[in-house]
Structure 1
Amino acid sequence: MAYQLTNGILTVDIAKPGEGYRETRFEWNGLITDITLLDGGHSFCTSENPTQGQGGGMGLCHEFGIKEAIGYQDTKPGEQFPKLGVGLLTRTDEGPYLFYKDYPVQPFKVEIVRESPEEMIFRTLPEECGGYAALLEKKISIDGQRLSIEYSLHNTGQKKLSTEEYCHNFLNINGYSMGPDYRLEFPVNLQPEADDNKTLQELMFDAGKVIWGKIPEREFYFRTGGYDGTREPYLWELSHLPSGAGVREISRLEVSYAAVWGRRYVVSPEIFYRVEAEPGECIKWTRTYEFFSENTK
């Protein structure tokens, strides 16, 4: 644990950039590794591969460009392309970009500002690559039971930045496995789709609810269409019925699409947000999470 935010209600642990996670998929800066609601001692984060030690994502991991990295198609093997929040990656072959591949990386420089015990800023400095460059600022703060992650993306290059951002929320509550004790709810009717129907077999759906009939034995995954999250009270809500603890994302975002991935020890509701910034343009958006228990609703 390198940094911690605390306000007597929540504690939020944040890794030092490049420590604990050094792969090239998720952002290195402002990686939230654990969150605790002090009333009841409820914890909410886990790892992508908790039995394998280091490696893979953990907690709240943000990624830009899961489908296609910025500038990748314009590079040749041996040339660099930018991965927002990570650095300049080197294309290694003629094949397509693969989000799960670990590319050679030249990390971006980052400035870290500790504003108060409840707030800190990670400022990723621009570095030109193929006409692309960006100043990416990420402010993490807590207020009561809420955690906010505010993004400011300033396109300092000559080419338009067009990508998508999401958070791979690696969650469980108090370490309990997924199963009938959990409920995952969305504010809209779900229309689940998957490339492999086997990833849907252990899930049940009731309008906007995802239900587990038993502890899942295999990986599960589905995606569903977008919706106007600015008009909804929350984007998703996960609750653990026996403990009464839960978390909801109350970000005010236009959702391009949503997905859910998980295994027996983790569930990750993912909200995808489209990011478009012309040269010289600065755009901002915020993700907000609210943590609760029976005593704090």
Structure 2
Amino acid sequence: MAYQLKNEHLSVEIAEPGMYRGSRFDWTGFITGIILLDGNHTFCVPESLIPGQGTGGAGLCNEFGIETALGYDDIGPGGHFPKLGVGLLTRLDDRKYEFFREYPIHPFKVSVVRENEASLTFHSFPEDCNGFAASLSKRISVAGNRLEVEYHLRNTGIKELSTEEYCHNFLGIDDHFIGTDYVLRFPFELSPTADEEKTLSGLSFNRGEVRFADRPTVPFYFRLPGFDGGQYPWIWELLHEPSGAGVRELSQFPVSKAAVWGEGHVVSPEIFIKIELAPGEEKRWARSYEFFVK
């Protein structure tokens, strides 16, 4: 079963918790499909076009703690550690935590409250794990041509929560392959960095624009430094120029860092927010997306 949000501009498909069963992405509010009804433009694509490859991402799916898992280094093989939005995972061996690896899952209990045709709220209930525990709520709604995702995270444990959250936006407009027809824009001068220069092959950077010389044949990835999202009316925009269809993220919060990943069928702007919560503290933030035809 999937949930649908709809108004006169947008139709949004959201997976029921448990339809995605991986140990990486948040099970709540896993957005698998978005249609802009003006022109019936689609935006969500899978992480991989080859069944069984990748980590199961699709559309708009967020992740907590991609680099450092809460409590992972304090336990041995067979011990449990929490992955916010997912559940309690089992450490397999002495290797360091790897976000792309599959770990056994004891999923958190989740409730879904349907408010109306245009909004619903997911709530992930806390479960103590070595002093870590958190209550997570995520309200998803559509208003006009905008999609809003509102987060409320509360530290209910006795240990500090220190992590990051981002949304892995798996985007491909109308299933058009990535190439010369696309432009990815940021509202500031770009200074990209990459661990391997070859991952930037075929990409060009001019002021705030990223363009693609051809359809990429290997994955590309680069990082951008953090910035104050509140300074800009939008923080990235992806446009398919022949159709004029596009999407921009309007989120306004302090961005700890940004990155862009993609391959031949998908481009994923990733905007990170840092989370530091002492026991009893809570944090609210929101991600806002605007879908349009120029």
Give the TM-score normalised by structure 2: 0.98
AA at the equivalent of 2:26: E
Shift of 1:99: 0.3
The equivalences for 1:20-169 within 5 A come to: 21-52=20-51, 56-169=56-169
Counterpart CA distance in 2 for 1:213 and 1:129 is 48
Counterpart CA distance in 1 for 2:100 and 2:224 is 22
The equivalences for 1:231-246 within 5 A come to: 231-246=231-246
Counterpart CA distance in 1 for 2:137 and 2:236 is 25
Shift of 1:278: 1.0
Shift of 1:51: 2.8
Matched residue, 1:209: 209
Matched residue, 2:218: 218
Matched residue, 2:268: 268
Deviations 1:249-286 (A, max 9, x none): 00001111110000110000000110111100111000
Matched residue, 2:289: 289
Counterpart CA distance in 2 for 1:18 and 1:30 is 11
Deviations 1:213-259 (A, max 9, x none): 11112111100111111111111000000000000000001111110
Residues 202 and 220, structure 1, Cα contact 8 Å, conserved in 2: no
Structure 2, unmatched stretches of 5+, are none
Look up the SS of the partner of 2:287 in the other structure: strand
Between 118-127 and 216-225, the greater mean CA deviation after superposition: 216-225
Q: Tell me whether 1:200 sits opposite 2:200 in the alignment.
A: yes
Matched residue, 2:178: 178
Q: Tell me whether 1:247 sits opposite 2:247 in the alignment.
A: yes
Shift of 1:73: 1.1
Shift of 1:53: 6.2
Counterpart CA distance in 2 for 1:203 and 1:95 is 34
Counterpart CA distance in 1 for 2:231 and 2:276 is 21
Shift of 1:50: 2.2
Counterpart CA distance in 1 for 2:132 and 2:247 is 36
AA at the equivalent of 2:249: E
Q: Tell me whether 1:190 sits opposite 2:190 in the alignment.
A: yes
Give the TM-score normalised by structure 1: 0.97
Shift of 1:35: 0.3
Instruction: Say if 1:53 and 1:80 are closer, same or farther in 2 by CA, change over 3 A.
Output: closer
Runs of 4+ in 1 over 6 A off after TM superposition: none
AA at the equivalent of 2:131: G
Look up the SS of the partner of 1:174 in the other structure: helix
Counterpart CA distance in 2 for 1:83 and 1:46 is 24
AA at the equivalent of 1:166: Y
Counterpart CA distance in 1 for 2:23 and 2:214 is 34
Counterpart CA distance in 2 for 1:104 and 1:217 is 33
AA at the equivalent of 1:155: N
Counterpart CA distance in 1 for 2:97 and 2:156 is 24
Counterpart CA distance in 2 for 1:75 and 1:207 is 46
Deviations 1:37-94 (A, max 9, x none): 0010000000001231686100001000000011111111111000000000011111
AA at the equivalent of 1:96: K
Identical counterparts, % of pairs: 56
Counterpart CA distance in 1 for 2:201 and 2:9 is 38
AA at the equivalent of 1:183: V
Residues 43 and 175, structure 1, Cα contact 8 Å, conserved in 2: yes
Structure 1, unmatched stretches of 5+, are none
Residues 89 and 103, structure 1, Cα contact 8 Å, conserved in 2: yes
Counterpart CA distance in 1 for 2:50 and 2:104 is 26
Counterpart CA distance in 2 for 1:53 and 1:12 is 25
AA at the equivalent of 2:56: G
Counterpart CA distance in 2 for 1:50 and 1:29 is 23
